[in-house]
Amino acid sequence: MKRIVAACVALLLSALPVPAAEDARLLVFAAASLNESLTEAGKVYAAQGHPAPTFSFAASSALARQIENGAPAGLFLSADEEWMDYLAARKVIAAGSRVSLLGNTLVLIAPSDRPLNMNLEPGLDLATALKGGKLAMADPDSVPAGKYGQAALEKFGAWSAVASAVIRADNVRAALSFVERGEAAAGIVYGSDAALTSKVKIAGVFPADSHPAISYPAAVIAAHGTTEARAFLAFLTTPAAGEIFKRYGFIVP
C-alpha cells in the first residue's frame, strides 16, 4: 500500500511545472556609471509585471572581456562604442540588437572643500592647478571615461604634464571616490557621476569636440539573449526610461 501511495505522489510531483532556475533571470552587464539610473529603470520595469533584472556594474572593458569568456550576461550596456565593437567583431552580440542608447558629458572635478575653477581650453595648465596633488581618472589604457579624459587633455596640450600624477582607477566610480575622499586634487568623470555627490564640485565641463563623442550602446548577447533580454532593452528605449536617465544627468538622443 505504501508503495502505491508513494508512486502516486511521485506521479503528481512529476506533473507539476518545474520552477525556473535562479540563474535563468536576466543578467545585465553595464558600465559603472549607469549604476543608479539603470537600477531604478529595472525597478520600474519590474513594477510593470516583468521579472526583475539582475545587474553587474563595472568598467566596460572588464565586462566585455568577461562576456567574451562566457559570462552569462543576456544584455550589455557599454560606456563607449569601442568595447561593443570588440564584441561585435567576435560575433558575441545578437545581430540587429545593437542600439546607441545614451550620451553624457565629461567634467573636471575637485573636492568640494578645495574647489577649482578652470577654463578647459587649449593651453590648459592643469599641472599647476594640481599643486603637486593627484589626478584621478578611470584607466585611460582601457576604460572609456579614462580614454575620453586623456583625449581631452591631449587636445588641450595638458596630458604630458599630468600623466605621471594620474591615479589610474579601475572604473569611473572609483575615480570619483578618490576625489570625494580628498585623495586626489582633481578628477575626470562623467557629468552624471559628479551630480550624485555633494563631496565634489565641477571645475569645468570639457567641450564636446575635445574628445570622442560619449556614446552608451546596448546590445543583446547572442549566447544568452532571451526574450526577456530583448524586452528589457526595448523598455530602455521608451520615453519612461529616458526620463529616468535624464534625471541622472545622461543625454537621451
Q: What is the pLDDT of residue 25?
A: 83
CA–CA distances in Å: residue 233 to residues 13, 20, 77, 241: 36, 21, 10, 10
Cell triple for 18: 518545474
Question: 135-138 and 186-190: which strand pairing?
Answer: parallel
Query: Which pLDDT value is given to residue 22?
Result: 39
Instruction: State the Cα angle at 252 between 44 and 173, rounded to 5°.
Output: 75
Judge whether 79 and 31 are in contact, CB under 8 Å: yes
Q: What is the identity of the amino acid at 237?
A: T
Tell me the average pLDDT across 217-229. Answer: 92
Centre a 10 Å sphere on the Cβ of residue 146 and count the other Cβ atoms it contains.
25
Q: At residue 16, does pLDDT exceed 50? A: no
- The residue-averaged pLDDT of 224-228 equals 86
**23-103+215-247 and 106-210 agree in CATH topology:** yes
Amino acid at 217: P
CA–CA dist 40, 169 (Å, integer): 25
Largest CA distance in the chain: 92
Position 199 pLDDT exceeds 90: yes
| 2: pLDDT strictly greater than 70 | no
Of 84, 34, 61, the residue nearest 168 (C-alpha): 61
Residue 12: the pLDDT is: 36
Handedness of CA 227, 228, 229, 234 (dihedral sign): positive
CA dist 178 to 77, 181, 211, 217, Å?
A: 25, 5, 23, 27
Written as nine digits, the cell of 52 is 526583475
pLDDT per residue as tens digits for the range 72-100: 999 999 999 999 999 999 999 999 999 99
Residue 224's pLDDT is what?
85
Query: Above pLDDT 90, what percent of the chain?
Result: 88
Alpha-carbon span 152 to 229, nearest angstrom: 35
| Residue 133 in this model has a pLDDT that exceeds 80 | yes
Select the more confidently predicted residue: 32 or 225.
Answer: 32
Q: Is the pLDDT of residue 249 over 50?
A: yes
Mean pLDDT (whole number) for 60-76: 97
Please report, for the chain, the start and end positions of each structural domain, with discontinuous segments joined by +. 23-103+215-247, 106-210
Q: How many helices (H) and strands (E) does the chain have?
A: 11, 10
DSSP H helical ranges for 159-249: 159-162, 172-180, 191-194, 227-236, 239-247
Residue 5 has pLDDT above 60, yes or no: no
pLDDT attached to residue 225: 73
The answer as to CATH 3.40.190.10 being correct for domain 106-210 is yes
What is the Cα–Cα distance from 253 to 238, expressed in whole angstroms? Answer: 11
pLDDT at 19: 35
d(CA 58, CA 245): 18
Top CATH class, 23-103+215-247: alpha beta
